[in-house]
Chains A and B, each alone.
Chain A
Amino acid sequence: MSLKSLDRELLVVVGAGGVGKTTLAAALGLQSAKAGADTLVMTFDPSLRLKDALGVGEEAKERPAIVKAGTKGRLEVALLDAGTTFDRLIRRYAPDAAAAERIFSNRFYRDLAGNLAGILEYMAVERLFEVQSERRYARIILDTPPTRQALDFLEAPDRIVNFLDSGAIRIALKPWWEQGGGLRGMPMRLAAKGVEEIADRIIGMRLLGDMLEFFRAFVPLYDGFRERAEEVRKLLRAPETLFVLVSGPGADRIPDTLFFARKLAERGHHLGPIVVNQVHPEAPAPGAPGPLAAGLALFHFLGQRDREGVERLRRLLSRGEPLLAVPLAATPPTDLPSLTSLGATLLAQLPG
């Protein structure tokens, strides 16, 4: 089977947490490899069952692991881990081993950098850049981290770059950079001194010292960070990149889905199919009272609720994106055959 409109070099699977992105990314990966493309699925936090199904363990954090699915194209899975990626980036881009060591031994880096807001998303982007520039795959499928709001994924990388690059750091570092810098540096130095005093009063000297040291050690890496972020920004808007938006069923998810579809378009991304996942199939109206009546009434309600949700979403979508409804399976798809059939169900609904 061909991948139809999903035949792109990069598929980004986005959506709110808990809607089944990871499973769908794996299912699409299998279809892509079956169609003959060497494919990499980059994912964050697959369930144990899914990892078992794909035959992937912790080692996939270090390098992509091969999925033995007997597909025509190669299928590999990489697990993303913010800490591992951050360490590797520093090792790779620091000017020398001593500079890397300075960062690794910094207390701010060790205790707090892993908790920088959006670090996971940023690291996803870094890994994507790394893998993409190696050109080992015909297709990459990027599963995105479990955020409450799907939009967080797109905003987080900018947030991190802004933070690392923020003027605060520049100002704080000015005294070191501009030592003996003459008159021009004077007002800056005075301002920096004021900022430092306030900062000391509020955050304390130890943390401040750790942070300054961290950012100083980071100076040689700044430009690379910004350049790569820029490259990835372009890549995420390129015509060969397609976003697959995944949503849960039910009317109360619709505003989120519409909001995100609109935002993607506004930001110049290419939006592909919208997948409403885990849709309860329609169930017959409950008949006579009995031990099954209450349960059947529930399933009847859920079937109707989800069908109405899909219909309403279809009406509200202004552009021509196809809307795919994936029915809730009796058992979660967590082995290769059920993942393969999930992917096939999805593709069968695509036009063309």
Chain B
Amino acid sequence: MKLLDGLARLQLVVVTGKGGVGKTTVAAALARLLAEGGRRTLLLEIDPRESLHQLLGTEPSGGKIVKVGPRLAVQNLQAQAVIEGLVREKVRVGVLAKKIVASPVFQHFTEGAPGLKEMAILGYALRTVKGEYRHRADVVVLDAPATGHGASMLSAPLLLAEAIEGGQLGEMAQDLAGLIADPRRCGVVLTTLAEEMPVQELVELVTLLRERMGRPPELVVANALYPPFPANAPAPRSGALTETLALWEQRRAVNERELARLGQAWKGPLVELPLLPVDRGPMLLAQVADALGEALS
């Protein structure tokens, strides 16, 4: 089966990786491919400072759901807003709900409580595909925040499900931990650069997913690779050219060394995407989506 068809059957695809590896671009490209394939897709951005709109060539959404193409919508989602929405739902009395949400106690607690924000985001995604909100989607692509190890989004429900017994939050944690652990419903796409630190974190993340969550990722994307250095390159004629060629050759060598290390730890599907001579924007997104689409079919 084609990899893309496999991803298209899921309800939730979590795209994660270390900061600065092009995670958002990969998430957006994947969302586009899923929408083109006929799935109603919602792409969620969690970062409070929006950057997805640059890639799409649209205006910042300010938290609203924005349609950006056939079957494709994007939203910048803030956990705090979801949590406040939940409070309004649970506490039927509007004045009281308002008071709770506005109180510094509530603000401080929800800001600091472990796992709460991650749960809110995942819960929102789950309810979207279940059709509980006005905007429905078949699949949600989540551009997960890059924390130190990019894993908190995936491990929060399990951690909470183990810590909490009973209560509505406990049940929700159980539900979401079940979703994350189920490869028929939830997919994980790990993005990395072929450089030392990102690969190191990726290897740790693969281990964590396997051992702690009993599930491997669906796909690893090695992004922004320097092109292969031609084996029989003609000798350079100018000094500046010599330097450029040396930089190319050695940066590519780092890529290859790290790809090899990655290959030791991860034998599953791996897509290599080239570093492109294109500024960040709709053009870059189109080209990445093309390259990704080709690799996945």
Which A positions have Cβ atoms within 8 angstroms of B?
16-19, 44-45, 47-49, 107-108, 111-113, 115-118, 120, 145-149, 159-160, 162-168, 171, 200-207, 210, 248, 250-252, 256, 259, 280-284, 290-292, 294-299, 301-302, 305, 328, 330-332, 334
B196 adjacent to A48 (CB under 8 Å): yes
Q: Pick 28 A–B contacts, CB within 8 A, sort by A.
A: A18-B20, A47-B196, A146-B146, A147-B19, A149-B48, A149-B49, A159-B112, A160-B112, A163-B109, A163-B113, A166-B109, A203-B170, A204-B164, A204-B170, A259-B49, A284-B240, A291-B232, A292-B233, A294-B227, A295-B226, A295-B227, A295-B229, A298-B227, A298-B275, A301-B277, A328-B247, A330-B250, A332-B254
> Given the complex, which residues of A lie within 8 Å of B156, measured CB to CB?
115
In the bound complex, CA of A49 to CA of B115 (Å): 32
In the complex formed, the residue of A with least CB distance to B112 is A163
In the complex formed, the residue of A with least CB distance to B274 is A298
In the bound complex, CA of A17 to CA of B237 (Å): 39
Give B204-259 interface residues, CB cut-off 8 Å to A. 226-227, 229-230, 232-234, 238, 240-241, 243-248, 250-251, 254
A18 adjacent to B197 (CB under 8 Å): yes
> Given the complex, which residues of A lie within 8 Å of B103, measured CB to CB?
167
Task: Please count how many residues in chain B sit with their CB below 8 Å of the partner chain's CB atoms.
Answer: 68
> Given the complex, which residues of B lie within 8 Å of A167, measured CB to CB?
103-105, 108
Question: Contact partner of B165 among A18, A116, A204, A283, CB < 8 A?
Answer: A204
Which B positions have Cβ atoms within 8 angstroms of A?
18-21, 47-49, 51, 54, 90, 103-106, 108-109, 111-115, 117, 145-148, 152, 156, 159-160, 162-170, 195-198, 200, 226-227, 229-230, 232-234, 238, 240-241, 243-248, 250-251, 254, 275-277, 279-280
Question: Contact partner of B20 among A17, A113, A168, A251, CB < 8 A?
Answer: A17
The 5 closest A-B pairs by CB, nearest first: A204-B167, A163-B112, A17-B19, A18-B20, A301-B277
Q: Which of A120, A146, A162: most chain B Cβ within 10 A?
A: A146
In the complex formed, the residue of B with least CB distance to A145 is B148
> Given the complex, which residues of B lie within 8 Å of A205, measured CB to CB?
166-167
> Given the complex, which residues of A lie within 8 Å of B148, measured CB to CB?
44-45, 120, 145-146
> Given the complex, which residues of B lie within 8 Å of A250, measured CB to CB?
280
In the complex formed, the residue of A with least CB distance to B90 is A202
In the bound complex, CA of A45 to CA of B104 (Å): 33
> Given the complex, which residues of B lie within 8 Å of A203, measured CB to CB?
164, 167-170
B163 adjacent to A210 (CB under 8 Å): yes
B254 adjacent to A331 (CB under 8 Å): yes
A284 adjacent to B244 (CB under 8 Å): yes
In the bound complex, CA of A256 to CA of B102 (Å): 29
Known: A18-B19, A112-B114, A330-B250. Is A47-B279 also a contact (CB below 8 A)? no
A207 adjacent to B164 (CB under 8 Å): yes
> Given the complex, which residues of B lie within 8 Å of A204, measured CB to CB?
164-167, 169-170
In the complex formed, the residue of B with least CB distance to A151 is B49
In the bound complex, CA of A283 to CA of B247 (Å): 10
In the bound complex, CA of A158 to CA of B247 (Å): 43
B196 adjacent to A299 (CB under 8 Å): no
In the bound complex, CA of A18 to CA of B19 (Å): 6
A297 adjacent to B277 (CB under 8 Å): yes
B108 adjacent to A292 (CB under 8 Å): no
Q: From residue A93, how far is it (CB to closest CB) to chain B in Å?
A: 19
In the bound complex, CA of A280 to CA of B226 (Å): 13
In the bound complex, CA of A145 to CA of B230 (Å): 39
> Given the complex, which residues of A lie within 8 Å of B243, measured CB to CB?
281, 283
In the bound complex, CA of A35 to CA of B244 (Å): 34
In the bound complex, CA of A91 to CA of B228 (Å): 54
A298 adjacent to B277 (CB under 8 Å): yes
Q: From residue A286, how far is it (CB to closest CB) to chain B in Å?
A: 10
B234 adjacent to A207 (CB under 8 Å): no
> Given the complex, which residues of B lie within 8 Å of A18, measured CB to CB?
18-21, 197-198
Known: A200-B167, A206-B165. Is A17-B108 also a contact (CB below 8 A)? no
Q: Which of B103, B112, B166, B245: most chain A Cβ within 10 A?
A: B112
> Given the complex, which residues of B lie within 8 Å of A159, measured CB to CB?
108, 111-112
> Given the complex, which residues of B lie within 8 Å of A165, measured CB to CB?
108
B108 adjacent to A162 (CB under 8 Å): yes
> Given the complex, which residues of A lie within 8 Å of B114, measured CB to CB?
112-113, 115-117
> Given the complex, which residues of B lie within 8 Å of A49, measured CB to CB?
196
In the bound complex, CA of A116 to CA of B159 (Å): 12
B200 adjacent to A112 (CB under 8 Å): no
> Given the complex, which residues of A lie within 8 Å of B117, measured CB to CB?
117
> Given the complex, which residues of A lie within 8 Å of B48, measured CB to CB?
149
> Given the complex, which residues of A lie within 8 Å of B147, measured CB to CB?
147-148
B280 adjacent to A252 (CB under 8 Å): yes
B164 adjacent to A148 (CB under 8 Å): no
Given A148-B147, A167-B104, A207-B167, 9 additional A-B pairs, CB 8 A: A18-B21, A115-B152, A115-B159, A117-B111, A168-B106, A204-B169, A207-B169, A284-B240, A295-B248
In the bound complex, CA of A116 to CA of B224 (Å): 33
In the bound complex, CA of A95 to CA of B205 (Å): 39
